[in-house]
Structure 1
Amino acid sequence: MSIPLRVLFVEDMEEDVILMVRELKRGGFEPAWQRVDTGPDMEAALRDKWDIVISDYSMPMFSAVDALELVKRQTDQIPFIIVSGAIGEQTAVEVMKAGAQDYFLKSAITRLPIAVERELRDAQVRRKQRASAAALREMQARFYAFMSAAPMPAWIKDADLRYLYVNPAQSAFFGMTPNDMIGLSDYDIMSGGAAQNAQACDRKVLDSNREMHTQETVFDADHNPKIMDMVRFPIGSDGKILAAGLAMDVTERVNSQKELEEAMQRQKMLASRVIEVQERERQHLARGLHDDVGQSLTALKINLETIKKTGSLEGPSLQNGIDIVAAVLSQVRSLSLDLRPPQLDNLGLIATLRSYVENKSTLAGVKGWFESSPLSVELHHDIENTCFRIVQEAVTNILRHAQADNIWVKVSQRQDQLSVSIRDDGKGFDLEKARSNAISGTSFGLLNMEERAVLVGGTMDIISAPGKGVEIILQLPVTPVMRRG
Structure 2
Amino acid sequence: MKKKKSNLPDQDYRYLFENASDAVWVEDLDGEVIYANRAAERLTGFSVGQLIDDGVLRFQPDDGDTVAGIKQRLLAGEDCQQPYEQRIIRRDGSAAIWRVATSLLNICGEVKGFQHIARDVTTERQTQDNMRFYVQEVIRAQEDERKRVARELHDEVSPSLLLLIQRIDAIVSSSRLKLTDVMKEKMEDLRVQTVEALESTRRIAQDLRPRILDDLGLIPALEWMADNLIKKHGIEAKVVIGGTECQLPSEVQLLLFRIAQEALNNIRKHSEASNVEITVTYGEQKTVVAISDNGRGFSIPERVGDLAAIGKLGLAGMRERAQLIGGYFCVHSQPGHGTVVSVEVPNQGNMCDLHARKNGLEARLKA
Scaled by the length of structure 2, what TM-score is found? 0.42
Which structure would you say has the larger RCO, counting Cα contacts within 8 Å and 6 or more residues apart?
A: 2
Scaled by the length of structure 1, what TM-score is found? 0.34
* Structure (1/2) with the larger helix percentage: 1
Structure number with greater Rg is 1
